[in-house]
Amino acid sequence: MRTSFLILFFSILFFACSYNNRGSFVIDDFSRDTTILAKTNSHSPTTLWLYIKGSTNDTIIINDVKWKVNAGKIDSLQLDHYTPELAIKIEHYKATSGKIEVDYYVP
């Protein structure tokens, strides 16, 4: 009985974690602001994780948070997020050049 319960528990856990709640995009044009629209399969999202790689020559704004992207380092940013549809807004603010790769994850 206990073995059956454990198998059922891990099967549900594996199935629940296999949703497509990840994505990535690259930005290399900082002459204009960019908005990325995406939809996840999460039924009750509460958090949006952003992992940012690359570099810019100055500060950018990501979803109303000022951020300086450092070369050779992966920065992470955790934001509150409560809907399956998400919009990630990147404003160039003071940055005029650079290239960043942003991976997002909604648990």
pLDDT digit string, tens, across residues 57-95: 999 999 999 988 888 888 898 988 888 888 999 999 999
pLDDT reading at 54 higher than 70:
yes
Find the CATH number of the domain harbouring 33. Answer: 2.60.120.380
Residue 29 lies in a domain: yes
Note the pLDDT of residue 18.
44
Give the β-pairing of 98-105 and 47-56: antiparallel
Residue 40 lies in a domain: yes
pLDDT-based confidence at residue 3 (cuts at 50, 70, 90) = low
Residue 14 lies in a domain: no
Residue 33, domain extent: 20-105
pLDDT-based confidence at residue 100 (cuts at 50, 70, 90) = very high
Note the pLDDT of residue 7.
57
What is the count of structural domains for the chain?
Answer: 1
- Rounded (5°) CA angle 40-46-49: 70
Residue 2 lies in a domain: no
Residue 80 lies in a domain: yes
- Cross-strand partners of 25: 102
Record the pTM. 0.74
